[in-house]
Structures are given as C-alpha cells and as structure tokens.
Amino acid sequence: MNQIKYILLLLLFIFPACSTLILKPANFAWPVESVLKVDDNGFVKEQRFSFSFNAKDLFYQETGDSLGYRNKELHLIRDSKGFYFLTANNFKNIYVFNDDDGSLKLNNKIEISDTIGMKNPAFNQRAPYIELLYNNNSVNLTNEGIIEGDKK
C-alpha cells in the first residue's frame, strides 16, 4: 500500500513537468500596416519584423495572371491574434493567413466586392478589429470576416 502511495506521489510530480508552457496574454498586432513592394521574383520583405514570403500565388489567385505581381505593392497588417491580412490595389478580396510550419496558410478569403477592385486600400489597427479603408468606405474585419452591421 505504501508503494502505491509513493508511485502516485511520484507521478504527480512527473506529469506537471511534461505540460506545455503557455505565456499569456500575448498580443501579436502590428501597430500600422506595411506597404510592401513585390520584387521581380515575387517576394515581399518587411525589414522591421524580419518577415518575407513569396506573393506570386496570391496575385495569381486574385488576378489569374501569372505575372500579376509585377510592379505591385501589398498591404499587410497583423491583428492581435496573429492573423495576417493582405490585399493590394484593385483586389476584390482580403486574404487572411496564419503561419504554419514555415509558411503562410490561407485562413479566410473575405470578399469585399464582386464587381470592382478596391482603390487605395489601407489597413488600420482598431483593436479588436482591423479597419479596412477603400473606395471611400470603411469596414471592420476579423479573421472570420466583416463585422456585420458595420459597413459604412
């Protein structure tokens, strides 16, 4: 009986040591959007955050043009949960990504317009939302989409 007590006591000390360390709360938000030029190879680089990725597939998804990234700029911001919001001039959608083992994985594609692309889109941090300004409009976004009833 004493051996069982000692084994149970030992297990109580071992299992908590195996739990995952969680540091919270954490805020991943970038204070302002980054406007990034796409280079000739399709890459964008954000020096402040040591962040880069290949944007060719994003432009192809939006435009259907394999060279649609040339001479373009991407608008990028990160919300407090760590989701990346991306768009560009004349895009009809906002693309929401999360990081996934050395890559960006599409989390959501938010349709802003089905007819015309956005002119001069801009993001602002409006915690807990991301504000999108475009074509004299403004909407609040989350990684799940537009906050309903909030179109202006």
Q: List the domain range (segments joined by +) for residue 110.
A: 25-146
Give the number of other Cβ atoms within 10 Å of residue 132's Cβ: 25
User: Does residue 74 lie in a domain region?
Assistant: yes
Helices (runs of H) and strands (runs of E) counted in the chain = 2, 11
Local confidence pLDDT in tens for the 152 residues of the chain: 667 766 665 555 555 556 788 888 888 898 889 999 999 999 999 988 888 999 999 999 999 999 999 999 999 999 999 999 999 999 999 999 999 999 999 999 999 999 999 999 999 999 899 999 999 999 999 999 999 765 44
User: Does residue 126 lie in a domain region?
Assistant: yes
User: Does residue 152 lie in a domain region?
Assistant: no
Q: How many Å apart are CA 87 and CA 94, to the nearest integer? A: 5
Q: How many Å apart are CA 87 and CA 34, to the nearest integer? A: 11
User: Does residue 32 lie in a domain region?
Assistant: yes
User: Does residue 86 lie in a domain region?
Assistant: yes
User: Does residue 2 lie in a domain region?
Assistant: no
The pTM of this model reads 0.83
User: Does residue 20 lie in a domain region?
Assistant: no
Question: What's the number of domains the chain is made of?
Answer: 1
Structure tokens at 15: 């299992």
User: Does residue 9 lie in a domain region?
Assistant: no
